[in-house]
Amino acid sequence: MIAESGPIPLAHYMALCLGDAEFGYYTQREPIGAAGDFVTAPEISQMFGELIGLWCAVTWRQLGAPAPVNLVELGPGRGTLMKDALRAIEAEPEFSAALTPHLVETGSRLRETQQQALAGTGAIWHNDLTTLPPGPLLLLANEFFDALPAQQYEKCADGWCERQVTYSDDAFQAVLAEAPSALDRAGEVGDVFELAPARTSYMADVAARLNTQGGAALIIDYGHVESANGDTLQAVRAHQAQSIYAEPGLADLTSHVDFEALCEAAVGVQAHGPVTQASFLCRLGIEARAAALRRSATPEQAADIGSALQRLLNPQQMGQLFKVMAFSPL
Residue 124: partners with Cβ closer than 8 Å, 6 or more residues away:
100, 101, 102, 103
Stretch that binds ligand SAH, among 36-44, 88-96, 186-194, 298-306 (CB under 6 A): 36-44
Q: Whole-number minimum distance, CB 154 to ligand SAH, in Å?
A: 25
Q: Whole-number minimum distance, CB 229 to ligand SAH, in Å?
A: 26
Binding marks (x or -) toward ligand SAH, 195..234, rule CB under 6 A? ----------------------------------------
Q: How many residues does the chain have?
A: 330
Determine if 248 is a binding residue for ligand SAH (CB under 6 A). no
Member of 11, 17, 26, 326 binding ligand SAH (CB under 6 A): 26
Determine if 81 is a binding residue for ligand SAH (CB under 6 A). yes
Determine if 42 is a binding residue for ligand SAH (CB under 6 A). yes
Determine if 77 is a binding residue for ligand SAH (CB under 6 A). yes
- What region, left, alpha or beta, does residue 190 occupy, with left being phi > 0 and alpha being psi -120 to 50 degrees? left
Member of 11, 14, 32, 195 binding ligand SAH (CB under 6 A): 32
**Cβ(197)–Cβ(151) under 8 Å?**
yes
Q: Is the peptide bond before 274 cis (omega within 30 degrees of 0)?
A: yes
Residue 112: partners with Cβ closer than 8 Å, 6 or more residues away:
none
Q: Whole-number minimum distance, CB 134 to ligand SAH, in Å?
A: 20
Member of 16, 57, 104, 196 binding ligand SAH (CB under 6 A): 104
d(CA 76, CA 93) in angstroms, rounded, equals 23
Determine if 75 is a binding residue for ligand SAH (CB under 6 A). yes
**Cβ(141)–Cβ(220) under 8 Å?**
yes
Determine if 147 is a binding residue for ligand SAH (CB under 6 A). yes
Determine if 105 is a binding residue for ligand SAH (CB under 6 A). yes
Determine if 110 is a binding residue for ligand SAH (CB under 6 A). yes
Please state the φ and ψ torsions of residue 55, each to the nearest 5 degrees. -55, -40
Stretch that binds ligand SAH, among 75-83, 89-97, 301-309, 319-327 (CB under 6 A): 75-83
What number of chain residues touch ligand SAH (CB under 6 A)? 19
Adjacent-strand bridge partners of 153:
162, 193
Determine if 290 is a binding residue for ligand SAH (CB under 6 A). no
Cα torsion 16, 19, 23, 28 to 10°: value is 160
Q: Whole-number minimum distance, CB 119 to ligand SAH, in Å?
A: 18
Q: Give the number of other CB atoms < 10 A from CB of residue 5.
A: 10
Q: Whole-number minimum distance, CB 29 to ligand SAH, in Å?
A: 9
Adjacent-strand bridge partners of 325:
219
**C-alpha gyration radius of the chain:** 20
Binding to ligand SAH (CB under 6 A) within 113-142 occurs at: 142
Burial (Cβ within 10 Å: 0-12, 13-18, ≥19) of residue 21: exposed
**Cβ(177)–Cβ(164) under 8 Å?**
yes
Determine if 107 is a binding residue for ligand SAH (CB under 6 A). yes
Binding site for ligand SAH (CB under 6 A): 26, 32, 40, 42-43, 75-77, 81, 104-107, 110, 142-144, 147-148
